[in-house]
Amino acid sequence: MKGRNETLVVMTPNVDATYNAGIAGWLDPNGYETFLADSLLYTSVIDLSGWTMEKFTFGTVQSQFQDPGVYTSTAVSARVEVIDIISQIPLPRSSPQLANIVANMGIKAPGMLGTGQDFSSIIYGNYRLYVPNAALGAFPGFLQLLSSSSFGSKEPTAAENLYFYRLVKCVGLPGETLTLPASRIGLFGTFYQEEDKEYMMRLKRSYELQQLVD
């Protein structure tokens, strides 16, 4: 069995959003899309097609999350929730899946019991809750991390693409602002070649997961 250690990386830009009355949602100039009334969405794709052409499987060993910087908001609600997902299958914006993830933030993470996602399809996930700290009067708008939890299967995959989604949720009013630092997510793992039978079963599983979307 051949193997090669690699790190798959997702980079996200910072958020510098203002709540816009005209669209009743957040507007951000750095690549985040307005999603529903109180959320932002950022997506990207990790291309593995060069590896899968050579029949390599990627197995995640561990993950790393980096977000050096400060979270702030002038929103009266000030509660900010962020969820990051790396999935083997796409979660189309037009489907109810992303909307359900936003609705269930802090209650049910994707792939957990009672959600619409297959747990094995979620390679990586992280949920974070930020709230204001009134004791830090010298730093108005500063948000403090209150809760952070990880989820995901780290299931080996032979998929050609992995799909990244970041959803940011904060109830806003016109003129309020929301800022988040740029971040980096790394999946440390190994590309390796399986025996033909195992690899064909892996491809079959990827096909079955894709049917959940199609």
User: What is the band of 151 on the pLDDT scale with cuts at 50, 70, 90?
Assistant: very high
Strand ranges of the sheet holding 80-87, from the earlier edge strand across to the other edge: 25-27, 15-20, 177-180, 71-73, 142-151, 122-132, 80-87, 161-169, 39-47, 33-35
Average pLDDT over residues 57-70: 95
List CB contacts of 147: < 8 A, sequence separation 6 or more. Answer: 106, 127, 128, 129
| pLDDT at 200 > cutoff 80 | no
Distances (CA, A) of 210 to 11, 88, 91, 139: 25, 8, 10, 47
Q: Which two tokens stand for residue 40?
A: 């932002």
The residues spanned by each domain of the chain are 3-211
| pLDDT at 1 > cutoff 60 | no
Q: Tell me what pLDDT residue 13 has.
A: 98
| pLDDT at 213 > cutoff 70 | no
**Contact assessment for residue 110 and residue 122, using Cβ atoms and an 8 Å cutoff:** yes
List, for residues 178-199, the tens digit of each pLDDT value. 999 999 999 999 999 887 777 7
Tell me the pTM: 0.91
Which of the residue ranges 58-67, 123-132, 164-173, 202-211 would you say has the lowest mean pLDDT?
Answer: 202-211
Buried b (16+ CB within 10 A) or exposed e, 177-207: bbbbeebebbbebbbebbeeeeeeebeebbe
DSSP readout, 168-207? Answer: EE----TT-EEEE--EEEEEEEEEE---HHHHHHHHHHHH
User: What is the band of 172 on the pLDDT scale with cuts at 50, 70, 90?
Assistant: very high
List, for residues 6-52, the tens digit of each pLDDT value. 999 999 999 999 999 999 999 999 999 999 989 999 999 999 999 98
How far is Cα 18 from Cα 73, in angstroms, rounded to an integer?
10
